Structure formats: C-alpha cells, structure tokens
Amino acid sequence: MNVSKLLGSRIRQAVMGAFFNQTGYEGHVRAVARLTSISPSAASKALAELEGEGILESREVGRNRLYRLADTAIARSAEDLYAKTAGIEALVQRELNDLSGAEGVYLIGSYASRSQRPGSDIDVLIVGNPDREELDVRISAIEAVLHRDVNPSTVTVEEFENPSSGFARTVRSRPMIAIKPVERAD
C-alpha cells in the first residue's frame, strides 16, 4: 500500500485516528463524524475506503452499520505506521519533545506493551525535572486530541539510569517506547 495514500487527507487521518487512538472503538457514520468534526458524507466515504482496504470492518446493527478496526495484518501495519507518523507516538513527540527540564520521554504501560483495552489511559514517563505547569498544559493538549486520559510520571535521570525504587525498576523491566531517549553521558 502507498504510504501517502494510507495517511492521505486530513479527513482520512481523522477517521483513522478515531479507531487507532481509541482501543476498541466502534461507531456508526454519524458518531465517527461527530468525534472527528467532519461531515457525515466525508466520514462515510473515508469509512468505506478504509473498509475496502481491509483496515476497518463493519457489521449491521438494526439500521446502522458499525465500523471497527479489522483484525488483519494490514490493519495492524497501518495502525503502527499511523501511531508513528500521525497518532499517539507522533502527538506525544510533538507536545513533549522540547519540554523544559525533560531529558527523556517514553511511552510505558499498556500502550508500550500492546495490551490496551477500551478505556485504557496512556502512561508517559518523563525523565528529568520538567516544569510541572508546562507539563500539565501539554498533557491536557494531548488528552484533548486523543479523548483519553494521559498519566505522566517523572523520575530523575539518575533514578532512570540506576533504578533503586520499585517503580523505576518495574518500568525499566517492561516495554518502553522511546519518544525522546535519554542521552547517556560517556
């Protein structure tokens, strides 16, 4: 599949985001249109295209057709590409990469371990000593786009590199997605 076609227009990206950014999301045309702030006709066209490409699947419930993410290899690949270029990972990078006092930023928890469920939050580890007010503003911006809770945790660079607390040891022993890796001093 052509990458530029996959991501395509703002409308197509918004529709994909409804499904890729919300684990287990299922919605009919008007619900997707409301969630993404696009017209129902534009949503209907994008949904039909994504279903035709095997990224979404649908089922009829009464007079409505409900769409959801397909359980296919192409859907998983599209979701991974979307996350890195326009979705959760890209959004977190855009919002937190230049956060004052942050030496590193990682996605942790169920997102990093690929064990999300409907309603799961997004856990973010900030390494360093970020400005709390600036962090709160940026986390709120991420939550507004994703329509999901984002829970930031912070640890010092020293604690990250030489974990002594239970939290730091646990985090370091589990999957992490580096958004802004801590640069090691050699």
Please state which CATH number belongs to domain 87-180. Answer: 3.30.460.10
Assign a CATH topology to domain 3-81: Arc Repressor Mutant, subunit A (1.10.10)
Low-confidence ranges of the chain (pLDDT < 50): 1-3
- Quick check: pTM over 0.85? no
Each residue's pLDDT tens digit, 29-39? 999 999 999 99
Return the pLDDT at 1. Answer: 45
Q: What is the DSSP letter of 116?
A: -
Return the pLDDT at 186. Answer: 56
Of 71, 53, 65, give the one whose Cα is nearest residue 27: 65
Are 3-81 and 87-180 equal in CATH topology? no
Return the pLDDT at 2. Answer: 47
Of 103, 138, 106, 101, give the one whose Cα is nearest residue 125: 106
Label the pairing between strands 26-27 and 56-61. unpaired
- Residue ranges of domains in the chain: 3-81, 87-180
Sheet holding 26-27, edge to edge: 26-27, 64-69, 56-61
Return the pLDDT at 7. Answer: 65
